Structure formats: C-alpha cells, structure tokens
Amino acid sequence: MTLMAKAINQETKKIQPVSVLLDTGSHYSYIREDTAKRLNLQLSRFKPCSVLAFEGKSTVEQSAKTAVTLVDVHGNKFNIKVTTRTFITTVCRNTITNSNSVLENIHGEKTMEVSIDILLPPRN
C-alpha cells in the first residue's frame, strides 16, 4: 500500500509531506537520502549496506542510519529508525492514498509518477 504521510523537519519543526510504501516483503525501514536531507535529519556515518532486492539481486551502496518522525491523523508522533538509500522505487500517483491525480514533484514538474520517500515493513 502506498500513501502520503506527514514527517517533521528536524530543523524547522514544520510538517512536510512524504510518500510512504508499506511493503509486506521488507524486513527493514528505508528513507531516500535526499528525503532525509530535505527533512534535515541527523545522519550517522555512511557505511556499505547490502540490500537484497527483487529476484534476489543484491546491491551494495553507502548508507547512513537516522530516525524520522511521522505524524498520524490524530497528531500522534512516531519516531522510526531508518537506513538511507539513494533510490527506493516509483509508483503511479493514482495508487497513492490521499494524493491528487496530478501534483508537482519536488522539482516543480507535473508528473503522474512519484518516487517513494520512505519504505516501511509491517510492524508486529
């Protein structure tokens, strides 16, 4: 399931929109590196991170650890530990809950696709 969520910018304390993919096949939480920087999240030292992707393909990239604070519809805040990735995936905008059919991406371009900012596994 994909949806638009709210995250807190750690420098300005303002709420900013983020796209989230809830991935039942994932065991870890990820955030795009540029999203982490846009939210002014404090990043740990970058280290090699190996990720097993589709069809069992393994990739290694430099990743950092951080935490992002999401806000639910009731104003409750949830701090989630995440690992940075340069790219997660893109989805068609009309599959995202609470999204207009055509919006501007962060570069101001009209688009029907959106890059996922945060990937979350199911929680137990």
The full set of domains in the chain, from first to last, is 2-120 (2.40.70)
Each residue of 37-52: b (16+ CB within 10 Å) or e? eebebeeeeeeebeee
pLDDT at 96: 59
Contact 39, 9 (CB under 8 A): yes
Predicted structure pTM score:
0.81
- What the block records as the tokens of 17 is 């929109």
pLDDT at 74: 92
Reply yes or no on whether the pLDDT at 118 is more than 50: yes
Alpha-carbon span 91 to 4, nearest angstrom? 12
Confidence band, pLDDT 50/70/90 cuts, at residue 43: very high
pLDDT at 42: 98
Confidence band, pLDDT 50/70/90 cuts, at residue 124: very low
pLDDT in tens, 50-103: 887 767 788 889 999 999 999 998 999 999 999 999 998 877 766 555 544 444
pLDDT at 38: 98
